């Protein structure tokens, strides 16, 4: 952070943000082989998870203080830092695991930097974003066409077909227990013993209905795809302007409930582990639907020619898949409503082009008082009364002490 020049709604500020992000991408590319193991590292209970979380906590404090000094408004600086690192992490990880043709690192970084620049400094003149190389806002992601879906092989209905009411309840309980275990431990760390223990059945009962753990995941993947497709279509139907603010937040709160149950499946898609054609096809169909949805939404905004659909996808994945856990990892737990509010703010500023002082937009009306984050509102009264500069010094002291981790 010390090497970054001033940030802000200027051409130089955007250039400095882009160079910082490009530096991260170069680090990721240099140590890319480490990401092969990320799916096994980024899980609760692993030995490395605590060290990674401690580093990110300290680093995000440093970023937050840089944002604060840069004149960030409308977002809590620490939350803006967590959003930024979540998006940057997912951007680089997806570049590494993707098999699609990728633009150059500099062009891809410019795309994501444009969305983050508008998130952090929505009063940035659009001419600033148009003045530099990027992959082209109108450029499509060119996802390969997803194979047509054939029902009946892995869906829940095929598992329940012809079963008695009692057997149907058993299968349902195993599926729910499996979803919870995958969400809590990840696919690879979860095991059949853990699943049957949560479902309160014997191990033999599991194998009566499922061949193995992968068979269970495929059924859940099919189910997750159906439910997620419905949610993506509903998201696409929300008006892009102020009229959609309340509906957007309601959608995000409901999505967080859905995510809590199916995040294990979603991460299996993203990590491409285990490698399986049916999982690949589910991921491809969902990705294609997200792409079309964002193409339609961003295309209606003032950012249509400066924020690419590719960048919008990365930002949305960073928010929906990574941000809730990142808030907890950074000792910044928040209610579902507050996380939804933060997500909505990023979507509206970075993808939909909301400006400061947009007529009819009142942040406090949607759950957060303007200029004061819910984190600040929830802070104990004696903490709220501390002068802001004292809180800044405390955060900086902690960040400096942890910065060498």
All structural domains of the chain with their residue ranges: 11-137+303-402, 148-301
Q: Do 117 and 70 form a contact (C-beta atoms < 8 A)?
A: no
**Residue among 7, 10, 3 nearest 77 (CA):** 7
Would you say 67 and 77 are in contact if contact means Cβ atoms under 8 Å apart? yes
Cα 64–Cα 317–Cα 32 angle in degrees, nearest 5: 80
Q: Is 257 exposed, middle or buried (0-12, 13-18, 19+ CB in 10 A)?
A: exposed
Which of left, alpha, beta for 200 (phi over 0: left; psi -120 to 50: alpha)?
Answer: left
pLDDT at 206: 97
Q: Could you name the CATH architecture of 148-301? A: Orthogonal Bundle (1.10)
Whether 232 and 290 have beta carbons less than 8 Å apart is answered as yes
Do 290 and 315 meet the contact criterion of CB atoms below 8 Å apart? no
pLDDT, averaged per 10 consecutive residues of the chain (405 residues), comes to 81 95 90 65 64 83 95 95 95 84 88 97 94 50 50 70 94 97 93 97 96 96 95 96 95 97 96 92 94 95 94 96 90 90 97 75 49 39 40 45 38
Cβ 127 vs Cβ 43: under 8 Å = no
pTM reported for the whole predicted model: 0.84
Return the axis-axis angle of helices 105-120 and 11-30, rounded to nearest 10°: 130
pLDDT given at position 4: 76
Query: Which of 401, 396, 375, 397 has its CA nearest to residue 67?
Result: 396
Which string of DSSP letters, residue by residue, matches 333-373? ---HHHHHHHHHHHIIIIIS---TT-TT--GGGGTS-TTS-
| Tokens, residue 12 | 């130089």
DSSP 93-107: HHHHH--S----HHH
């Amino acid at each position: 952070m010390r090497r970054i020049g001033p940030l802000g709604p200027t051409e130089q500020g955007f250039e400095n943000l882009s160079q910082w992000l490009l530096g991260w991408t170069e680090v990721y590319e240099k140590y890319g082989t480490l990401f092969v193991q990320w799916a096994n590292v980024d899980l609760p209970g692993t030995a490395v998870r605590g060290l990674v979380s401690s580093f990110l906590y300290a680093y995000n404090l440093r970023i937050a203080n840089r944002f604060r000094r840069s004149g960030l408004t409308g977002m809590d600086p620490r939350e803006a830092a967590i959003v930024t690192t979540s998006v940057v992490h997912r951007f680089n990880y997806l570049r590494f695991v993707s098999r699609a043709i990728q633009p150059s690192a500099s062009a891809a970084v410019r795309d994501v930097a444009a969305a983050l620049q508008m998130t952090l400094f929505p009063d940035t003149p659009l001419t600033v974003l148009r003045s530099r190389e990027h992959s082209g806002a109108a450029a499509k992601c060119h996802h390969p066409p997803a194979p047509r879906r054939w029902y009946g092989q892995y869906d829940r209905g095929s598992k329940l077909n012809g079963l008695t009411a009692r057997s149907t309840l058993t299968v349902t309980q195993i599926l729910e227990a499996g979803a919870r275990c995958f969400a809590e431990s990840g696919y690879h760390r979860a095991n059949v013993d853990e699943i049957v223990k949560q479902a309160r059945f014997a191990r033999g009962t599991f194998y009566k209905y499922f061949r193995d753990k992968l068979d269970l995941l495929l059924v859940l993947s099919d189910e997750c795809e159906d439910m997620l497709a419905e949610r993506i279509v509903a998201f696409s139907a929300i008006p892009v302007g102020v009229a959609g603010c309340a509906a957007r937040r309601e959608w995000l709160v409901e999505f967080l409930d859905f995510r809590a149950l199916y995040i294990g499946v979603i991460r299996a898609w993203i990590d491409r582990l285990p490698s399986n054609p049916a999982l690949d096809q589910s991921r491809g169909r969902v990705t294609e639907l997200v792409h079309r949805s964002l193409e339609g939404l961003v295309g209606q905004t003032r950012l249509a020619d400066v924020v690419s659909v590719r960048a919008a996808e990365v930002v949305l994945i960073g928010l929906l898949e990574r941000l809730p856990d990142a808030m907890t990892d950074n000792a910044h737990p928040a209610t579902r409503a507050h996380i939804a509010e933060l997500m909505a703010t990023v979507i509206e500023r970075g993808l939909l082009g909301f400006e400061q002082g947009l007529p009819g937009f009142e942040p406090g009306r949607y759950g957060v008082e303007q200029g004061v984050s819910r984190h600040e509102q929830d802070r104990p009264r004696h903490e709220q009364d501390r002068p802001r500069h004292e809180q800044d010094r405390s955060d900086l002291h902690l960040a400096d002490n942890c910065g060498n981790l």
